[in-house]
Amino acid sequence: MEGTFTQIEVEHEGDYLINYSVIFNNTPPTEIVEGAFALFVDGLDVDASRFGETIVLASQPAGAQTKIQVNGEAIVHIPEGGILELRNISNRTVHVLASVAGADINGAAITIVQLDNDTV
């Protein structure tokens, strides 16, 4: 597989188990912190991969410090040379976090496992 910050090119056609995780907060901070994400293959939304979270807070200042983690999982068929993307599908701007409590973290992660690897 080859990839960039936003896209992963899949070299071998097949069925893949894909897990993802995103840790974020909203920008600008609000009393309602929410986000939703989905996988896309060749620009098409994978319905089974749509996951999201909403938290309603008592005050806006808390929104600046609140962090949400959204996890998703789907089994997806990807053609040879297919482009896989994880996108924010909410109407909110999300800020993917690079650190928590002073420690550097991976604010987004994706795991791709080919399930039918007869050709690899």
Q: Give the pLDDT confidence of 10-53 residue by residue, as tens digits.
A: 999 999 999 999 998 877 777 788 889 999 999 999 999 999 99
pLDDT computed for residue 98 by the predictor: 86
| Residue 47: Cβ within 10 Å count | 9
State the alpha helices, DSSP H only, in the chain. 60-65
What confidence tens digit (pLDDT) does each residue in 89-118 have? 998 888 888 888 888 988 899 999 999 876
Written as one letter, the residue type at 79 is: P
pLDDT computed for residue 1 by the predictor: 42
pLDDT computed for residue 118 by the predictor: 66
pTM of the model: 0.85
At residue 119, φ and ψ (nearest 5 deg) are -95, -5
At residue 73, φ and ψ (nearest 5 deg) are -155, 140
| Domain range summary for the chain, segments of one domain joined by + | 2-114
pLDDT computed for residue 72 by the predictor: 96
Query: Is 2-114 a domain of CATH 2.60.120.40?
Result: yes
| Residue 19: Cβ within 10 Å count | 14
Whether pLDDT at 77 is above 80: yes
